[in-house]
Chains A and B, each alone.
Chain A
Amino acid sequence: MLAELLQNPALWRGDALASTLRPGVPTGFAELDAELPGGGWPLGALIEILPAASGIGELRLLAPAMARLSAQGRYLAWIAPPYQPYAPALAAAGIDLTRMLIVRITGTQDALWATELALRARACGAVLAWPTQVRFSELRRLQLAAQGGQALAWLIRSPEAALDASPAPLRLRLETRAGMPTVDIFKRRGRPVAGPLLLPSLAIRHALDRPLSAPPAARTVRQHDHA
């Protein structure tokens, strides 16, 4: 009787990952998929990514899912990116550049408006937004837009935002620990994650394994090992 009950998918146990009706979009990192409800980036939910710094893999973390969505003809809307998305590297990551929509905005209100609009548009497969100073009520609005839409809703925020409450069902920190990219899922549906997740495959190994060639002519540069 109890065993039968436990088989019922409508029943959720406190120690299990939350089951979702919609499967997620695979992240391209098996270790991460295993920890995410739905086995990937969840659809219809606001996802907060909090990188500790620029250049630690914050886009590489999202690139496999973006490549997959763009191959399906879905658009990738980049709202208020802090720097220029660079075509050669995006193409090398397998992203179809014709699906890129870049929206340059300076005002916070305009950025939130554009994010909400993109989340509600059915053509978008993923919305990446870099809002500054976003309030709880505004996050709530975005969460509602994400719920009604069909796009992945990635909000990339500063690490300090972890201290503020947020209606986003999935929140994760990205940092480098001892040279290793580490994902800390500090909020998700279902039971909390045991601890930070090391993602060795997120490091750009292949480039770094090449030896440093001759130093530049102008000045001597000492040889360094990969940390």
Chain B
Amino acid sequence: MTLAPPATVLLEVSASLKLFKGLPAMLRSQRSGLKAMGHVAAIAVAPTPTAAAWLARAGVEKHVGAARLQQVLAALPVALIEDQAKTLEALENIGVRTLGELLALPRAGVARRFGETLIAQLDRALGHQPDPRTWYLPPASFRAGIELPAEVNNAEQLLFAARRLVLQLCGYLAGRAAGVQRFTLELLHAGSQATLCVIGLVAPAADAGHFMRLLRERLQRTALPRPVSAMVLAADTIEALAKDSLSLFQDALQAAGDWQELVEHLRARLGKEAVSGLALCAEHRPEYASVGTEPRAEPGAAKSPSAQFGERPLWLLAQPATLLEADGLPQYQGALKLLVGPERIESGWWDGREVKRDYFVAVSRGGSLLWIYRERQLDSRWYLHGFFA
């Protein structure tokens, strides 16, 4: 693929015809892809890139073979030739309006009068001279934007516009067999800072339908300070995508992909922090022995905590709750009965969050099993720290 400014894209298609099941099928898929992204294009097919570009620019949407090339080109206007305006004007002054009329002139005379570049272009168009092109290399990151025809402030209309950008992104990713783990939709407002919608994924993906679902959740919950006048879709880091098309374990893979989609879908609506995994941490202080993590794909062996202390509750309170004390006993819906304890925990003097506590298992009158402790520094009050649920 080669870009030919200002507005021409050249594709070398002969090597790809088999993949696309023939030229007509390929043209159909090109047209529908262009239409989905909102482009209008004239498509022409010719044996040489210059000839194809000229045909397309002239709006002649034809498939021209080598045999009829000269005949078809002859009808095109000379204005298609890329040369100085002075040259084209001179051609017009001598009454040459079409390429056919130009080709009819003596070659040596044309070269002397209008320069070698004119002749060279004609030769390349007709295939008399090689026409090497530099292939287009897609940029290492993706960034595309559109101006909205009118200012928009509802999510549905934003999604409609964003869809074009998402399709562009996925087309770009498909071309490199890559995926993104994170992309940003920037909503630009006239006269105020842009609103950013950052979508983070659990693993790299390139699925337009999934991306749209995530954007829908996010846009429906995004408060817009002002109507949106333009938007930009950007993905900085492009990552290789593992292809799993021919796996024996299709079901297992789908279920694995399924949990990632679940996590991403939840996060798109609720925020990244809302969804977490859970892990053990080798730490004596009870509140640090259990930590939130990123949700994980790899199953681990179910293992017990390395050092088994006393009994631990299944529920822990985020903040220990103060318990009143009466007759020397902590109260929780009546006096508590201490069943097991004390288990003394003293730790953390090195990081300023020192803990000095005596833990007990206690039972309430209603039969609830509680994990409570008595503070051994500052006050000596009772706290509720967990439930043996």
A residues at B contact (CB < 8 Å): 52-60, 63, 67, 70-71, 73, 75, 77, 81-105, 110, 113-114, 117-118, 121-124, 175-176, 179, 204, 207-208, 210, 212-222, 224, 226-227
Contacts and interface: CB of A to CB of B under 8 A. Distances in A.
Contacts of B292: 102
9 contacts: A55-B313, A55-B389, A58-B389, A84-B318, A89-B312, A97-B278, A97-B300, A204-B311, A216-B374
Interface of B: 254-256, 258-259, 261-263, 265-266, 269-270, 273-281, 289-292, 295-296, 298-305, 308, 310-318, 328-329, 337-342, 358, 361, 363-364, 366-370, 374, 376, 380, 386-389
Contacts of A213: 341-342
Given A91-B305, A176-B367, A218-B380, A86 B314 contact: yes
Given A53-B368, A103-B275, A215-B342, A86 B386 contact: yes
Given A121-B262, A179-B367, A224-B337, A100 B277 contact: yes
Nearest to A71: B302
Contact of B339 (A208, A214, A217): A208
Given A54-B387, A58-B389, A103-B275, A113 B269 contact: yes
Contacts of B387: 54-55, 83
B314 to A, nearest CB: 4
Nearest to A100: B278
Dominant SS at the B interface? mixed
Nearest to A181: B367
B301 A96 contact: yes
B268 to A, nearest CB: 11
Contact of B314 (A53, A59, A220): A59
Given A58-B389, A114-B269, 12 more contacts: A57-B369, A63-B314, A75-B262, A83-B386, A86-B290, A99-B299, A103-B275, A110-B270, A117-B262, A121-B261, A123-B259, A218-B376
B316 A83 contact: yes
A101 B276 CA distance: 6
Contacts of B280: 87-88, 91, 97
A122 B273 CA distance: 23
Given A58-B389, A60-B389, A67 B318 contact: no
B315 A54 contact: yes
B315 A102 contact: no
Contacts of B361: 207-208
B259 A86 contact: no
A59 to B, nearest CB: 4
Contact of A86 (B265, B313, B328): B313
